């Protein structure tokens, strides 16, 4: 089976009445290897909520024309975020000082 054929099977079997694909609750914890979901593309939004891993959750190089929203991350060792680049100037809240600052685009 090709990945294109798998995508068609997922669309046919896991789309709800609104046309959204819902793969919530997949449990790969019995599998000893990593789960790799690189290069997901959507003409709508991509929701990643409530992931858990015994090792690491690695997310990088996300691109969104509207927003990338990250809320409530918890890590036993560290959370690393760097290289965020807004498309245009935006307002952000500096969590260390509580002040709002204007980010200039790169």
Query: For residue range 17-60, what is the model confidence (pLDDT) as tens digits?
Result: 999 999 988 999 999 999 888 888 888 888 887 888 888 887 77
pLDDT digits (tens, 9 = 90+) for 66-98: 777 777 777 787 777 776 666 555 555 555 565
Which of 69, 75, 32, 30 lies closest to 52, judged by CA? Answer: 75
- Bridge partners, 93 (sequence order): 100
The confidence band for 106, taking pLDDT boundaries of 50, 70 and 90, is very low
Contacts of residue 51, Cβ cutoff 8 Å, sequence gap at least 6:
57
pTM: 0.60
Rounded to an integer, what distance in angstroms lies between the CA atom of residue 67 and that of residue 70?
Answer: 10
Beta strands in 25-74 (DSSP E): none
Greatest extent of the chain over all pairs of C-alpha atoms, in Å = 52
């Amino acid at each position: 089976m090709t990945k294109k054929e798998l995508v068609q099977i997922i669309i046919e079997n896991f789309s709800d009445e609104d046309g959204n694909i819902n793969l919530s609750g997949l449990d790969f914890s019995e599998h000893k290897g990593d789960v790799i979901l690189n290069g997901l593309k959507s003409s709508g939004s991509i929701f990643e909520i409530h992931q858990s891993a015994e090792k690491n959750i690695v997310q990088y190089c996300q691109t969104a024309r509207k927003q990338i929203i990250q809320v409530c991350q918890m890590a036993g060792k560290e959370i690393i975020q760097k290289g965020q680049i807004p498309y245009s100037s935006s307002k952000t809240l500096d969590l260390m000082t509580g002040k709002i600052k204007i980010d200039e685009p790169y």
